[in-house]
Every structure is written in C-alpha cells, then in structure tokens.
C-alpha cells in the first residue's frame, strides 16, 4: 500500500463526489449530474480495478462460463474454479461432449449444480445450432438454458463489447446509492433508464466492470444498499437446507458413480422422504438419471 497514492486517490474521489452532489442538487438526474457520476466510477476503476482471469483473456466461451458461474456465487469462489474448469473444458465443443460426471466434478464448490447442466446444454446448442459460434444477439441467447434477460445482455456486452442495458446486484447497489438511497422498494424499472443513459457506447465492457467493482466497494464500506431494492431477497441458511442435501447427493454419486436409491439414503443418513424428494427433483431436472434401478449423474 502506498499512503501517498491512497491520499491522492481519496482526495480526487471526494472532489468528484462533491461535484456530483452539486450537480445533483441542480438537477437530480440531469446530464451534468450523470456526467459527474460517470467520472466517479471511471476514476475508481482506473485505480482500483479488480483482476480476474475472465477479464484478462476474453473470448465468448470464457465469458459464458464465467457469467454462468457468477450467477448466485461470489467472485472469490469463481476465481478459484474458473481456470481449472477452462483447462479441463477449453472450448464449447469440449464441454458439449464431456461426460456430465466430469463436469460436476469440476463444478464442485460452486453450488447450484443445475447451472452446470445448463452450461453444458448451452455448449451443445452453440455447437449444433450455431456452428460453434456464440450468437451476439441477446434475444437468441435468452432462448438458451439458464440464460435470462440480464445474463443474455451481460454476455453480449462482455463477449462482444456491444452496449446493452442490464442490472445485477452490484450495478443495482451503485445506482440506488447515488440516485435513490432515500427510497425503499426501488424497482429495477426505475433504474433501467439511468443505466441506459450512462452506458459507455464505445467501451461498454469496461464500463460495466467498473460499475461492478464500485458496487463491491460500496458493500464493504457502506453496507448492502441493495436491501433497498424491491428485488432484494436474503439467501436462506445453507446448513440443513435442500441445497445442502442436493449437494450431498451429487457428492455421493461422484464418490460411488452409481447407487440404488436405498443405498443413497443409507449413505447420506438424512430423512428418507426428504432425500427421495431431492432425488425426484434432480431427476426431473436431468441432473441425475435412474438407469435400471441405479442412480447416476445425468
């Protein structure tokens, strides 16, 4: 840490904040206030950018993998799993053809394993329907498994540097903090025009990286502002949850490759009806399959 650098950075940052507040007092969401806001975010990013493997080397495949991994999973956990996963499955084609057992093994630790299945199905769609090339069109990407409106737009922006408008938790945090922090139940529909008005048309990829990094900083320094959002939901406790039992089932099938349902219940030593319910759910999702009375990863 360089004390002089930190002092200079903080001084400039505070000056930019003051300028923004002055412009905001004249016109809360006017052009000058938005320009001042953009200077704050860009200054922060120029000095405090977070390094991630999926940012340093960008391809459509790496972007898709990282975006699916980052759904509902913190960046520090994804950072540990991303490069080993890419090394094991370096292309859409490699992932499309891989045994699902191997994908789950590499996915372990990220949770929400249905995303691993969705990711393989995305790879299969890309290879079979699009000649191995990810389509740079959000409306098409939305038809892919596990990809909704926001993810389709984030993938388009990060993979192809095309300006789109999307909101995720850190972006939501930034815009609520600067423009609506005195409100409760802020809806994304109120934020979308602000997000659209500030997107860098020449380099939207770096702009969204900057917003996300600033949002992470805000959560560490001022708390979780996104609690003011109408879309905020607190994640349920993991210990004893269905998520935990689902993970235990997959781990047991990784360890044993195949088990009868009775043997699985005995292995987990959890409530039988609950385990059988999770088996039914995982089977319906295509994550596990029953082959002649033996449960295996799909």
Query: What's the CATH code of the domain at 259?
Result: 1.10.10.10
What gap in Å lies between CA 298 and CA 284, rounded to an integer?
A: 11
SS3 assignment for 128-162: HHCCCCCCCCHHHHCCCCCCCHHHHHHHHHHHHCC
Is 236 inside a domain boundary?
no
DSSP state, 237? P
User: Which residues touch 189 (CB under 8 Å, ≥6 apart)?
Assistant: none
**Helical ranges in the chain per DSSP H:** 3-26, 31-48, 53-56, 60-70, 75-88, 92-97, 100-107, 114-129, 138-141, 149-160, 169-179, 188-198, 204-221, 242-256, 261-268, 272-285
Q: Which pLDDT score is estimated for 234?
A: 66
The domain containing residue 107 runs over which residues?
53-160
Which of 113, 140, 160 finishes a domain?
A: 160
- Let me know if 15 is a catalytic residue: no
Same domain, 76 and 216: no
Same domain, 251 and 266: yes
Same domain, 253 and 218: no
What gap in Å lies between CA 218 and CA 199, rounded to an integer?
A: 20
Q: Is the CB of residue 113 less than 8 Å from the CB of residue 250? A: yes
Same domain, 76 and 115: yes
Burial class (CB in 10 A: 0-12, 13-18, 19+), 79: middle
**How many domains, in total, are found in the chain?**
3
Which of 160, 175, 193 finishes a domain?
A: 160
Q: Which pLDDT score is estimated for 69?
A: 97
CA-CA-CA-CA dihedral for 87, 152, 194, 201, to nearest 10: 70
Q: Which pLDDT score is estimated for 250?
A: 85
27 φψ region: left (φ > 0), alpha (ψ -120 to 50), beta (else): beta
| Catalytic residue from among 67, 83, 88, 285 | 67
Q: Which pLDDT score is estimated for 3?
A: 67
What gap in Å lies between CA 164 and CA 81, rounded to an integer?
A: 28
At 212, which CATH number? Answer: 1.10.1670
The pTM score is 0.87
Same domain, 184 and 42: yes
Q: Which pLDDT score is estimated for 193?
A: 95
Residue carrying the six token digits 């001042």: 36
Same domain, 224 and 260: no
Q: Profile the chain (298 residues) by mean pLDDT over runs of 10 residues.
A: 76 96 94 97 96 97 98 93 98 97 93 92 98 97 96 98 96 94 87 96 98 96 77 69 85 86 86 88 87 85
């Amino acid at each position: 840490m360089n004390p002089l650098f930190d002092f200079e950075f903080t001084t400039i940052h505070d000056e930019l904040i003051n300028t923004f507040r002055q412009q905001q007092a004249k016109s809360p969401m006017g052009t000058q206030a938005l320009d001042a806001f953009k200077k704050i975010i860009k200054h922060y990013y120029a000095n405090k950018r977070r390094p991630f493997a999926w940012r340093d080397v960008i391809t459509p495949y790496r972007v898709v993998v990282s975006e699916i991994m980052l759904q509902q999973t913190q960046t520090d956990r994804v950072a540990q799993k991303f490069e080993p996963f890419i090394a094991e499955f370096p292309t859409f084609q490699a992932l499309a053809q891989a045994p699902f057992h191997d994908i789950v093994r590499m996915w372990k630790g990220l949770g929400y394993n249905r995303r691993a299945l969705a990711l393989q199905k995305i790879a299969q769609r890309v290879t079979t329907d699009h000649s191995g090339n990810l389509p740079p069109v959000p409306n098409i990407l939305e038809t892919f498994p596990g990809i909704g409106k926001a993810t389709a737009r984030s993938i388009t922006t990060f993979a192809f540097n095309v300006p789109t408008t999307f909101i995720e938790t850190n972006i939501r945090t930034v815009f609520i903090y600067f423009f609506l922090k005195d409100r409760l139940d802020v809806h994304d529909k109120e934020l979308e025009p602000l997000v659209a008005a500030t997107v860098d048309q020449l380099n939207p990829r770096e702009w969204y990286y900057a917003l996300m990094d600033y949002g992470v900083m805000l959560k560490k320094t001022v708390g979780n502002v996104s609690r003011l959002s109408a879309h905020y939901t607190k994640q349920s406790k993991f210990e004893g949850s269905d998520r935990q039992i689902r993970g235990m089932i997959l781990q047991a099938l990784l360890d044993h490759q195949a088990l009868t349902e009775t043997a699985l219940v005995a292995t987990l030593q959890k409530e039988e009806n609950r385990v059988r319910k999770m088996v039914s759910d995982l089977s319906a999702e295509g994550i596990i399959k029953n082959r002649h009375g033996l449960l295996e990863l799909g």
